[in-house]
Amino acid sequence: MHNRKLLNIELGRVSSEEYRTLPDSGVVVVLDNIRSAHNVGSAFRSADSFKADRVYLCGICAVPPSAEIHKSALGAENSVAWEHFSETGEAVARLREEGYAIISVEQTENSVMLQDFRPEPGARYALVFGNEVAGVSQDVVDASDLSIEIPQFGSKHSLNVSVSIGIVLWHFCPLVPR
């Protein structure tokens, strides 16, 4: 069997302007003190790919415009809406007021394995991803409705935050049949 690679013009891509007019997915990404601008850019790119509604950049996160963000975002920082908060708790408090379930992506005592969590249609989720070394801060974990964990089987039990974002957003993607 021969499979021809599709050309970029065959992929049905939407423009940044069209992206913003697509229906909301009910999923937002919250970055809790992500130190690498490349990881921030990758978060934008995954958010765009899986149609997250917004990215909240908190604390030390780099913000657009940034050459480092753009290098890994490839322009997704222009399609996905974003906002910066000096403290992650401020973003979490606002999202809770707006009716979002706050979910920390973190290894905790009572975390739910990702494959065991089923997003509810019509629900709104704020997915919090933490610092590359320290993870999601304890005060944000404490303020969360629950924690979900990506199962891992190797010796590290640690994924790059940009990889974690892609895995979790795929799970929440509204286009994936359940």
- Each residue's pLDDT tens digit, 93-128: 999 999 999 999 999 999 999 999 999 989 999 999
- Each residue's pLDDT tens digit, 43-55: 999 999 999 999 9
pLDDT > 60? residue 176? no
Structurally, how many domains does the chain consist of? 1
Domain span including residue 37: 23-151+160-172
> Concatenated DSSP letters for 83-134?
EEESSHHHHHHHHHHTTPEEEEES--TTPEEGGG--PPTT--EEEEEEBTTT
Tokens of 135: 């993870």
| Domain assignment of residue 6, yes or no | no
